[in-house]
């Protein structure tokens, strides 16, 4: 199953509207989820290299969790969108989607005896290439998340503390 990559046109190359960011995440998230389901099926049906397939499935799953966190943060606080409005960020998400597809393709190749004559060096090289691209994508996306986290950590912690205190007070009254 092949999903299409949709490039979103914007008013400027530097800034997106909230709707554009949400559209990008809504597209990438389900697409990545579908690819991860395919990777899991490949893993379950692997004839060989089951451990390699599991490692690749775990990498893809980690990426989907990052997307879920981004969506939740954006919908929780639109003010945080300013960190998600760059062309670089959009391109990073699209690269992530492509890398997840590459992970799926590699996982498929190494999972079947009749599909891929495994030569150690070529399989190792391809693995390292896919993982290097994956790590770079995740690093690019995580930089934005770290900056965002540092800025809002104190505010969120205060809000969370108030919620916990309120919940504990209710529990104490019971």
Percentage of the chain beyond pLDDT 90 is: 20
Show me where the domains of the chain are located: 18-173
pLDDT of residue 101: 94
- Residue 24: the pLDDT is 66
User: DSSP letter string over 42-100?
Assistant: HHHT-SS-HHHHHHHHHHHHHHHHHHHHHHHHHHH-GGGGGGG-SHHHHHHHHHHHHHH
Q: Pull the structure tokens for residue 125.
A: 């090289």
- Give the closest residue to 61 by CA, choosing from 42, 37, 43, 44: 37
Q: How far is the C-alpha of 146 from the C-alpha of 141, rounded, in Å?
A: 9
What are 53-70's pLDDT values in tens digits? 999 999 999 888 877 777
Global pTM value: 0.65
Q: In which band, very low, low, confident or very high, does the pLDDT at 94 lie, cut at 50, 70 and 90? A: confident
């Amino acid at each position: 199953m092949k999903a299409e990559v949709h490039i979103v046109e914007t008013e400027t190359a530097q800034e997106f509207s909230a709707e554009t960011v949400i559209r990008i995440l809504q597209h990438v998230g389900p697409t990545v989820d579908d690819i991860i389901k395919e990777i899991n099926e490949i893993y379950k049906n692997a004839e060989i290299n089951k451990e390699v397939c599991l490692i690749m499935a775990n990498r893809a799953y980690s990426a989907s969790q990052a997307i879920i966190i981004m969506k939740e943060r954006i919908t929780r606080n639109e003010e945080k969108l300013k960190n998600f409005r760059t062309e670089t960020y959009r391109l990073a998400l699209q690269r992530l989607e492509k890398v997840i597809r590459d992970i799926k393709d590699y996982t498929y190749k190494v999972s079947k005896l009749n599909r891929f004559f495994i030569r150690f060096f070529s399989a190792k090289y391809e693995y390292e290439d896919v993982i290097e691209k994956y790590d770079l994508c995740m690093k690019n996306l995580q930089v934005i998340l770290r900056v965002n986290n540092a800025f809002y950590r104190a505010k969120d912690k205060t809000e969370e503390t108030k919620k916990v205190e309120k919940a504990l007070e209710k529990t104490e009254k019971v």
